[in-house]
Amino acid sequence: MARAWLDPDYKELVRSDPLAASKEVGVDWLEPTGFGTPSDFTALHVLEDTPTLHHVIVCTLCSCYPRPILGNSPEWYRTPNYRRRIVRWPRQVLAEFGLILPEDVEIRVEDSNQKHRFMVLPVRPDGTQGWTEEQLAEIVTRDCLIGVALPKPGVTTNAVTRTRAAVHPAAP
Active site residues: 59, 62-64
Give the separation between CA 91 and CA 170, rounded to whole angstroms. 12
Beta strands per DSSP E along the chain: 43-48, 53-58, 106-111, 116-121
The helix/strand/coil state of 86 is helix
For the chain, the first-to-last Cα distance in angstroms comes to 37
Collect all residues with Cβ–Cβ distance below 8 Å to 132 and sequence separation of at least 6: none
Contact in structure between 146 and 82 (CB atoms under 8 Å): no
Cα angle 13, 65, 8 (rounded to 5 degrees) comes to: 15
Give the separation between CA 147 and CA 120, rounded to whole angstroms. 6
